[in-house]
Structure 1
Amino acid sequence: MFPSEDLRRQAVRALARVGGPALLLFCVVDDHVHVVVLCDDDRVGVLARSLLLALRPLAGPGISPAHVRPVQGRSHLMWLVGYCLAQPSKHRIGAHPALWSGSCFLDLVGARVLPGYAPPLREALPRLRGRVCFEHVGLPARPLQPLDDDALREVTATALVAAASAALAAPPDLPGNSALVVTCRRAVAQLGKAAGFTAAQLARALRIQPNAVRRLARAPVPPGVLPAVRRRLALEARVAGQPMLVAEAPMTWGPAAYEINEADAAASAPAPEPEAPAND
């Protein structure tokens, strides 16, 4: 549906922009999109149509209307966390599921910043722990610490540019001078300076002039951007150094949301029946 990296990043930006604070989970994979939102009954249809309209220019006319069904409690929602995060593995897309740009995993662990997307997942699932997200993508369950300046010095300027564009879901080649691209360049200039790169080294990686790099290094960057790039680099290092692990999705119990499946082919797998409430 979104065959290129650039289109996939545009799609997740569109989901964040339209879904806003209602957006809990999402995954863009293969020929469909899974979205889990938290909203009132009378708004879910409007939100589903808005998401469809936002994705249609990117996916083409073949995209079908959404299939909407309510999420039956916290156990179902917890199951959907694992279901969404495991989609890249299920569809064997060839990339590590932790680094798949269509997955909300990057946002849940702070390795990406999407304007408008601040998932209230911890409020909906107070028992959800960060380690669970890592287990679902086959990584060791330990906190993801931002890469410090010493570790940044081990990264190439080209890798820094790639990580920054991924952490902002920006176009991979950073074309033009849109606000998103400029923010990405500022992040590279400032992190590169902290790591000891010269303006000339960063200029070559960014394909701009050294004087422009110096100006970018002095310009403000929105909160959260620099830590997200550092976490993206830390995540890449963890993926490179760890074998794939497999974990089952845990289950608990509680309130409801809505799952929306935007597809141009088969719909998502059926959800499990909700379990009886667990005694604390």
Structure 2
Amino acid sequence: MNLITTGDTSTQLLPRNYQFNLSDFALFLSVMKNKTAYECTLSIILDEPELKLAEVEVEQVVLNKSGKRAIRLDAWARDTLDRRINTEMQNETETDDVRRRARFYQGLLDTPVLKSGKMTKYKHLPSTIIIFITQEDIFGRDLAEYTFTEQCEEISDLPLDDGTKKIFLNMTSRNGRPELISLLQYMKNTTIDNPEIIVKDRRIVTLDEIVNEVKQSEEWEAVKMNILEIGIEKGRQEGLQEGLKQGIHAMIQDNLEEGVEEKRICEKLQKNFSLTREAAEEELRSFMEEKAKNQEEQ
């Protein structure tokens, strides 16, 4: 079976006939580079029907100091109010802290805006909105939308008003504005006939038209072919790794049955599989732990 990988779900292999959705990194980028598409999306998310974008970029790199981590933004925009808005399609939420990632992104977004010099005033720093779209409820409160702004802890009606906002969207919840729920479900299953779309908002209809145009374009075909090639190579490499592991375990098993000392087994692993001493010892330890666990289960 031919396999493909997508975006930050690159550890998952998908069938060749997989139907891409907007929740998939590749299609999300290909569609959001269209200003109208991104405008419709942000208009629903921010609940601003009249929102207009002045500038749109996808995969924009924001550099950091030398030796420090930079970021690559999924979809970035500047609207006619001069706000900077970044939207990330974040399917993987278990291996890292998305909330702290949002904090890091928010800080770096300001880096290229202000020029050096005494004449530069912080009051000229534009407002920024960071949006993360996830397929899991990272807060566990069953809301489709979680919005955070800086707030004084001592005085409940005193916002910091520093021009920053973080929004986390959750595809699993049905608790939220009907048009937002419909957008998130459309992203999850990108067809206008999706029964989970409770409101066929004109912006979603427009977005769907653009998605269909993108899917029929030569550029998208090239993107899919590239993903396919990456997926096939990944599958080949994973197959080689699995074969290597099986070979190592077979040698360990044979040597244990022959009564070979563990030190000598590690030396054989180093020689036959070009492993370092530490790697050979780790393979032996892993094998012994797995063997002990299997014996306990029996």
Largest Rg, 1 or 2: 2
Same fold (TM over 0.5): no
Q: Which has the higher contact order (CA 8 A, sep 6+)?
A: 1
TM-score computed with the length of structure 1 as normaliser: 0.24
